[in-house]
Structure 1
Amino acid sequence: MPRTPALPPDSLIPGSPQRRTVLKAGGTLLLSVLGAGLAPSSARAAQIMAVRVWPADEYTRITLENDGDLKATHLMLANPPRLVVDIDGLSLNETLKSLVAKVESNDPYIEHVRVAQNRPNVVRLVFDLKEEVKPQVFNLAPVAGYKHRLIFDLYPVRAVDPLAAMIKKENWSDSGVPAATPTPAPQPGDATIGKAGPDAIARLEADAARAGSTPAQPQPSAPQSQPQPPTQPRPAGNGGKVARMVTIALDPGHGGEDPGATGATGVHEKDIVLAVAKRLKGKLEELPNTRVMLTRDADFFVPLGQRVEKARKVQADLFVSIHADAFIQPSARGSSVFVLSEKGATSSAARWLANDQNKADLIGGVNLGTQDKQLASVLFDLSTTAQINDSMKLGKAVLSEIGGINRLHKGAVEQAGFAVLKAPDIPSILVETAFISNPEEEARLKDDAYQNQLADAITKGIKRYFAYNPPLAKGRTA
């Protein structure tokens, strides 16, 4: 006898109330499981770990450091000027709220900032501005000690001109400086000397001795192999009859997001070299017909290529980049001077140092979308043998003077492919003042008296260089 087929349960009958209840419960369970799997990932991507603000006349930078790659959209609004930024995949936390208090009243471009949860997983930042700006918003991948960074750079609509800013800040009159005029009789300490030679050097050193600024004697334990200045001075143009304003570009390394090396006590290279550069600027400006431009005068980051371009825009006669060495072993010590090399480094240490310094753009943070990718190669190709030869003369004169106050790491000027030394038409040197990673030298670098000695030594080296290589007349293009 055939068996009667069993009817399906009510929960499987299409359209039955029981089936709808089961399907609803199953769907709810599935969404709960999926939501539980996605929620932790979303939360991890939304953690703001640090916020930093770097105000400067040239631009203000805001940095949001986080543990994931954030996506942001932005737009400018007028009347009054505002920058509105929406950041996806982010929830408001106390760290991000602290951004409000980090904007100071003296910020050149930001009046204040507002932070709010605009909608679920979207945080809105509104920057109320003091003037219209050209914003750049970009991401930086993890590098050095940093995790992911979201960067807001607020530039003025009209970029700061280095030459105009230098003249305005120091109250100089650009119109009163002739390109070439007859030189009066040289005075002791003059930076521009007509018929240079050993007698000129003797006068400079005698004048320094009378002023009580003779360098301290080298340390007894320090092996000294100091370079000597060139024996034959280069004749000046127009029979040595050239007197004009000499412009020197000083480049304090690192800055802002890029702290440089850090000593055992926590002092940053960027702070030490800025202090030394400011002292040096003051001493150089005491020389006749001399003005000085700092590539940065506060704690903000300047890309390597822009440092070179600033020097060229002010038609600098010299470029001096100031740094403080660091090495994995704290026993390393001594001062060094480097110039550019087109053919490779003169030592493995010089090569290592150049590679390390050339990472500054990665650490400091450059918007690759606006970077001239051909700049570095063009400047390198344009670098001439004459520029490197003049840089060597300047380097030897400065190294000789620094050797009087500190042990020299190397007894000769070294060469390597430093990106910051690639100005094709400006004698350029990089001075490593001392090893900040050496506890003894770190203590000296923090000392006001030693910083003053460093500034004195570099000033005397520059005077020595000009005594043998008077600045020639040149056309005015700025």
Structure 2
Amino acid sequence: MFFAYTGKQSVIRFFITCFVFFCAFTVLAANKIEQARFSDSSDTARIVFELKQAPTFSYFSLKNPDRLVVDIKGVPKAYNFNDLNLTGNKVNRIRHSTPKSKGDTRIVIETSKKLNPRIYLLEPGDGNSHRMVVELVDPNPPPAFTINNSGPNRDKNIIVVIDAGHGGADPGSIGPTGTYEKNITLSIAKMLAKLVDEEPGMRAVLTRKGDYYISPNDRPKVAAKEKADLLVSIHADAFTTPQPKGGSVWVLSKGRADSELGRLLEQTERSSQLLGAAADVIDDRDTERYFAETIFNMSMDLSRALSYELSNEVIKEMKSITKMHKRTPQSASLAVLTAPETPSILVEVGFISNPQEEKNLNWALHRQRLAAAMFTSIKRYFQKTPPDGTLWAQWKSKAPISHTVANGESLSLLAQRYGVSVREIKVQNNLNSDLVRIGQVLNIPR
């Protein structure tokens, strides 16, 4: 561009023109993709882009191979799509390509077959940014409903995800003699995992098996991926003075649970995924959100209740091994406990900042006892409430019912109540007569 201005007035015009161009460029360059999310339901793949400002965009489809090209004006090519977890079988890859103009972004979405694109913008609200939603709809989706006569589609084992806190460049708390929390937690996690794997009908999954770092936000994702029945995160506490000592057990706070609920509901694609086939017959997005909110609320409330119940069991066992700093379950906003459909607890095994407890935690036998206490409480918890579809649930359904004889009860009365014969009760309990005493515990066959 050439400016032919002369004189003082022309110089002023020149600077004004430059200033206008600078402001225009600044406004254009200010917009950017801040975050991207992906999900895949039965008939639709969704990509949600969060931007600082409402974008101007255009798009077109190409064949051989099938792909959708999206051009966003005034947005630099800076966002890395490699971190997106591309689930399902519709989208193979999301990448950048050369844009039409410098300072723009061209996004190429490679698909496994021809999908019908639908792109729309969502205004910011409830603390959200501007959102551009790209939906790729399968014109020939697989059947929404299937009949399964084999029972719940899940692993027959009870799956326990065991999370060793910290790791890698994050050592966690450091004891007076230089003990790293990350090493203590990994040792106890491996001991607990061994006990779980040795128990028939149970399987352990470690979030980390060595000395490397995992983000707190990524740890609950392991539980979701494994469809875990429980997540146990192991840590060691610390304080600025050496006096505090003892263990504690933590669950997710109600405030953080509500926050996670809001975040999950904001992702309309997550709502559809949760509702599954039901989402296909709901035309109204508000109705879909209402149903999703109801299910999420029930799921998270149940997970928190189960987490609290298990926490009490863990405290009962741990107090025979170590002093408990907190004798009741505590709640906090902890990222590692945010798996919405998995009961999750965080166990502080002691204060590594306390010289005596640091010494205890460096003692292998003490760590083994802590792991055994956690395992005993976990086992007792699942014996009472085994997840549906597991071997433990099958065993419980076949196991005898324990009954304590009360005043006025007889074998004939119990046989009538439980729908079995007097003889079956006598055989089950090795009884030689029909007489029973108050307080006697009988096993009633099912």
What TM-score, normalized by structure 1, do the two folds share?
0.41
